[in-house]
A and B are shown apart, each in its own frame.
Chain A
Amino acid sequence: MEGMAGQKSGLVWAVNIAAFLLVLLWTIPTLGLLVSSFRDRDQILTSGWWQSFSPQEATGFVRTGTGDDAVQQDGLYVIEGTVLEEGQTLIGWGTRAREPAAFEPGETAEIGDGWQVTVAEDGTYRMTSPTPFEMRRGERIFVTTGAPARLTTENYNRVLTAEGLGRAFMNTLTVTIPATVIPILIAAFAAYALAWMEFPGRALLTAAVVGLLVVPLQVALIPLLRLHNELGIGKGYLGIWLAHTGFGLPLAIYLLRNYMVGLPREVIESARVDGATEFQIFRRIILPLSFPALASFAIFQFLWVWNDLLVATVFLGNTREQLVMTGVLRELMGSKGGEWEVLATSAFISIAVPLVVFFAMQKYLVRGLLAGSVKGG
């Protein structure tokens, strides 16, 4: 309706703004992960990712030394130390949690019992008392510190080498590619038979494929694991390839059949008049013409296998050598919940490949979705 007369510009603006907000809302979480993955490991713990480009102001506290650390100077008992870490600057300090920046650097605070604390600009503190310190735990000095924003690619180096994610990346790739290619081949033939060959039971088989689309694969885990054990496949790559092939087939057949049915009948008949056999028709006419549908399914299956956790956990095993990236992520979330930079970086590496595939082949993904929207998950 572009160019329609009398359109209100206010409405156009409202739509633009609303759409922008919606897009922002949907993008921010991923953006947060991306930014976080480049942050310094200390800064990530003390400030939100949205603050990563401004100097880092952080509050915390430092405990002073205890009575054992005190030395006698000029009749006073003195404890000295620093409240700052490498690279930090002191913005303010205090002695109570409520007021972490009550004092300027260089000022002196009275704590009571004649105790005095001075924190200098360089972060060194000096606590003095006329009587010996007798506390077993140090006093808390609350500090507000500043540090220059620091973005780094260190995390990526570290995660890819030391944390074993490189290995997991290879594992994932090893699982994904055969598990994407093999079902396509099997499904393409089956789809052609369902779409263009006459045989008894065709409608029934097609209905069965539609029905199998929604079977929760949780149902299949234990029976298949036992089946694999009995066949001697056990846990390993072969098992997971077969499993993903089986689970991916209904969607593959459904998508391809729907696409092939839509190919013009006359083209196929023409090939028949030209003397092509069924196999030649399939290979030289149907397969090339079905490329968009093949691409659609390939993307689906790729994303699904790459992102899968359940099937990999069950069929591949959980040793360090066998973990796929989703498995590593899961472990990290459990065991290294505190190491945010590792988590963020690993997560981003694991979603990077799907995102690249997604943006590069979005057209086919959308087309496939539209053709196969009966399927879920």
Chain B
Amino acid sequence: MADLTLAGVAKSYGEVHVLKDINLDIASGEFIVFVGPSGCGKSTLLRMIAGLERISAGTLAIDGQRMNDIPPSQRGIAMVFQSYALYPHMTVRDNMAFALKIAGKSRAEVQEATDRAGRMLQLTPYLDRLPKALSGGQRQRVAIGRAIVRDPKVYLFDEPLSNLDAALRVATRIEIAQLKAAMPDRTMIYVTHDQTEAMTLADRIVVLAGGGIAQVGAPLELYERPVNEFVAGFIGSPAMNLLPGRVTATGPLTTVQLDGGGIAQVAIPTRAGDEGMRVNLGVRPEDMRETDGPAIFEGTVDLTEALGEVTLLYFGTRGEGVPVIAKLPGIHPGLTGRVVRLTADPAALHLFHDGRSLLYRDGVELPPYQPRASAGMAMQPPA
């Protein structure tokens, strides 16, 4: 019902530029997640959309109407804060009713709306309690309820789950997903630093870094086609390994001679002139598997972490550089101290030159993204 456009939006506090030249179109009914490391400006961007921070430059439009100077309450948005920001001296019902009362809605309307929100969020038994008598999860639901009663066109969530414990976080995440499913035409913008929340909730993820947008795309697109080393490292855990090397053969399949001695075949096309180019080979720990044949990486296991479902192998933890990590499914006792040879599927490998992925080169049209079925999975549909 509401599309949202950010054009050249910037934010600065005096000489400090927090955000610069943000351009983003959000379609009506989309679930957008802003992620990024702390201090990247994702919360500031959300607060600018809410109207809590002034926009230093650029335009914010909702449904085509310029919103830069419109006060928060008239933007048709509602916001769920990280700390919930419940009014501590009001009951649950009064908390949810506050905005409606301010807007001068009739008693019956207020009653109706709060009752409905209470039912929707299973808060009916608690409507007459004060926030301090509620559990963390209930408080979170009240905060959401407060947004729902206003029936806004755009919902803004500022790290709403970060004050909950791990189990509750999963449950509430699912509730938010169901909430979105129940309101397909409402736009939601959600800020988090937790990539699981981002991956599970988002239609599209916006990765923010260094005051700008690093990449926008569907969750798996960011995972499989990261535009640069930052996104590659930020999405996925443990982070993608980056192995320095040099291009030795070009074509639809690129061959890379790694400085560590290994050789890799990568399913990313390169041009003839690329031969000898310095690159970083990106390989996710979960894409690595043991091999007896030619190896991308060969090393002595310094340390293993057995998690049961997977085993993490650490290489080079004692040296200066970043350790290489591999994630093998299942249990692998007695690997510590042994030399292991690892390889990966060419389609699962990434190539970066000067920090940027070779997939996204000037003059190259990238085919529309299709999720790649994992090579290691046994559940592949029969061909």
Contact = CB atoms under 8 A, between A and B. Distances in A.
Nearest to B78: A273
B73 A264 contact: no
B78 A264 contact: no
B4 interface: no
A17 interface: no
A99 interface: no
Interface string A262-285: 001011011111111000100011
Contact of A266 (B74, B81, B99): B81
Contact of A270 (B74, B85, B103): B85
Nearest to A263: B88
B6 interface: no
Given A266-B83, A266-B85, A289-B89, A273 B102 contact: no
A334 interface: no
B102 A272 contact: no
A127 B72 CA distance: 104
A272 B52 contact: yes
A223 interface: no
B87 A264 contact: no
Interface in A220-277: 264, 266-267, 269-276
Chain B CB within 10 Å, residue with most, of A270, A276, A280, A285: A270
Contacts of B83: 264, 266
Nearest to A275: B73
Interface in A266-319: 266-267, 269-276, 280, 284-285, 288-289
A318 B292 CA distance: 107
A282 to B, nearest CB: 13
The main secondary structure of chain B at its interface with chain A is loop
A2 B300 CA distance: 53
A303 to B, nearest CB: 27
A270 B102 contact: no
Contacts of A273: 50-52, 72-73, 77-79, 99
B152 to A, nearest CB: 9
A270 B79 contact: yes
A291 to B, nearest CB: 8
A267 B142 CA distance: 13
Nearest to B81: A266
Contacts of B103: 275
Nearest to B47: A269
A274 B98 contact: yes
A203 to B, nearest CB: 16
Given A267-B86, A289-B88, A274 B99 contact: yes
B73 A267 contact: no
Nearest to A273: B72
Contact of A267 (B52, B72, B82, B85): B85
Contact of B102 (A264, A266, A267, A280): A280
B279 to A, nearest CB: 46
B342 to A, nearest CB: 47
Contacts of A271: 87, 98
Nearest to B52: A269
B78 A266 contact: no
A270 B81 contact: yes
A269 B88 contact: no
Contact of B89 (A266, A274, A288): A288
Interface in A132-148: none
Contacts of B98: 271, 274, 276, 284
Contacts of A274: 73, 98-99, 102, 146, 150
Interface string B59-81: 00000000000011110011101
Contacts of B99: 273-275
Contacts of A276: 73, 98, 102
Contacts of A284: 98
Contact of A285 (B82, B87, B146): B87
B73 A269 contact: no
Residue in B74, B82, B86, B98 whose Cβ sees the most chain A Cβ within 10 Å: B98
A269 B146 CA distance: 14
Contacts of B150: 274
A276 B79 CA distance: 14
A273 B229 CA distance: 38
Among A273, A276, A288, the most chain B Cβ lie within 10 Å of the Cβ of A273
Interface of B: 50-52, 71-74, 77-79, 81-89, 98-99, 102-103, 146, 150
Closest 6 CB pairs of A and B: A275-B73, A274-B99, A266-B85, A270-B85, A266-B81, A288-B89
23 contacts: A264-B83, A266-B81, A266-B83, A266-B84, A270-B79, A270-B85, A271-B87, A271-B98, A272-B52, A272-B72, A273-B51, A273-B72, A273-B73, A273-B78, A273-B99, A274-B73, A274-B98, A274-B146, A275-B74, A275-B99, A284-B98, A288-B89, A289-B89
Given A276-B102, A280-B102, A285-B87, 4 more contacts: A267-B86, A269-B81, A270-B81, A284-B98
